[in-house]
Structures are given as C-alpha cells and as structure tokens.
Amino acid sequence: MKKPKFKKCNFCNKEFKPYTSLDKFCSSMCRIDNIKSKRKFNHTKETCENRSGINNPSYRNGFYTRKKKKTAVGQREFNRVIKKIRSDMIDDKGFVYCEHCQTSNTARWEGHHLVYRSEKTGHDNLHKKENIINLCIKCHNEFHKNKHINRAFYVKERDLVELFGSSILPSR
C-alpha cells in the first residue's frame, strides 16, 4: 500500500507527512487537543473551584460520598446494630471509641463482624450486638490481616462459641 505524500491535519490544518495512511493528525498534541475540543465540559480552573469542597454535590460532613444504594435486609440490620453500639458508647462514656485500641481520635468508625458473614451466612445471631465490634480504620485493617489471631480473644470474651458453635474456633 502506497503512503500519501502529504496530508492536512484534521485539527490545525497544517500539512504533514503521515507515518501511515491512517494518520489524521500532525502530532499527538493535535490529536489530544482535538479530543479535548469535543468534550461536553471543559474543566477550567474556575469550574473546578466552583465544584470543590462544600460546593461539590457529593460533599457531606467533610467526606466525599456517593448516593447510597438500596441495602439488603442483612445490611440494614447490621447498620441498625452498629448505630445502637455507638449510641450505647456515648451513653456510657460520652464518646465513641475503638473497642480494640480504645482510641477516640479518628475521623471514621467501622463495624466488624467477629464471626464473618461468609462463614455463617444467614445465621440468626450474625447481626447480634455480641458479634459486632466498633473499630477505627487502623484496627479494622489489622483485623483483616490477622483474621483468626485477633478474633480469638473476642470469641472467648463474648462467649460466641455458645451462639455459633465450636466450628468458629481456629483449627490447630
């Protein structure tokens, strides 16, 4: 196939010698500028500043949030129990804290099942207060790294063997 000698750039109309017969732009910058010019919104410094922080439609209490999806019955039950746990903490001590490291100095709290959902799917006691622990992000990540080591203490302390059976104990 014979290459054309010269072509006009589709963006800047400058003549150029194409590398292949399919080339439409004289440079990669012209190709990128052509794509940018066809975008519906051009994001300038002004438009970005107008939609940042509190002005962002997804902004809520300092965190970026998305619209909440409809949650399953189990997730709603879990959310109800973790809210109850946190309100009980406030009633008892006056603040929310991590039940593992006892810190109250964090921006976000996470609920964690001691006996995992995947382990006992559909079990009646899965979303009971005894099976859920309130953690800071650091401790929650630590729990997932060392799953059975960290939870063994809480299984004994909260007597979860009585609720779930001996199958939740780590095998030796």
Looking at the structure, tell me whether residues 116 and 155 fall in a common domain.
yes
Q: Tell whether 1 is covered by a domain.
A: no
Which residue range forms the structural domain that includes residue 25? 7-64
Task: List 7's β-bridge partners, or say none.
Answer: 16
Q: Are residues 93 and 130 in the same domain?
A: yes
Does residue 148 lie in a domain region? Answer: yes
Label residue 167 by pLDDT band (50, 70, 90).
confident
Question: 112 is written with which tokens?
Answer: 């964690």
Q: Are residues 53 and 102 in the same domain?
A: no
Q: Is residue 130 part of a domain?
A: yes
Q: Is residue 2 part of a domain?
A: no
Last residue of a domain, one of 20, 45, 64: 64
Do residues 90 and 164 both lie within one domain?
yes
From 15, 37, 64, the end of a domain falls on 64
User: Residue 143 has what pLDDT?
Assistant: 84
Q: Are 60 and 94 in contact (CB under 8 A)?
A: no
> What is the share, in percent, of the chain residues with pLDDT greater than 90?
19
- Whether residues 78 and 45 share a domain: the answer is no
171, pLDDT greater than 70: no
pLDDT band at 68; cut points 50, 70, 90:
low
Same domain, 88 and 113: yes
> Range with the lowest mean pLDDT among 46-50, 53-57, 65-69, 160-164?
65-69
Confidence bin at 71 (pLDDT 50/70/90): low
pTM metric for this prediction: 0.55
Q: How far is CA 126 from CA 63, 88, 104, 157, in A?
A: 29, 19, 26, 17
- Please give the biggest Cα pair distance in the chain: 83
Summary mean pLDDT of the chain: 82
Q: Which residue has the tokens 């203490």?
A: 153
Statement to judge: residues 45 and 81 lie in one domain: no
66 has a pLDDT exceeding 80: no
24 and 85 in a single domain? The answer is: no
Round to whole Å and give the CA distance between 106 and 138.
9
Distance (Å, whole) CA 116 – CA 22: 56
Structure confidence at residue 69 (pLDDT): 61
- Does position 77 have pLDDT exceeding 60, yes or no? yes
Domain boundary among 64, 81, 104: 64
Q: 60 pLDDT band (50/70/90 cuts)? A: low
Kindly report, residue by residue over 78-108, the tens digit of the pLDDT: 889 999 999 999 999 899 999 889 988 888 8
Q: What domain count does the chain have?
A: 2
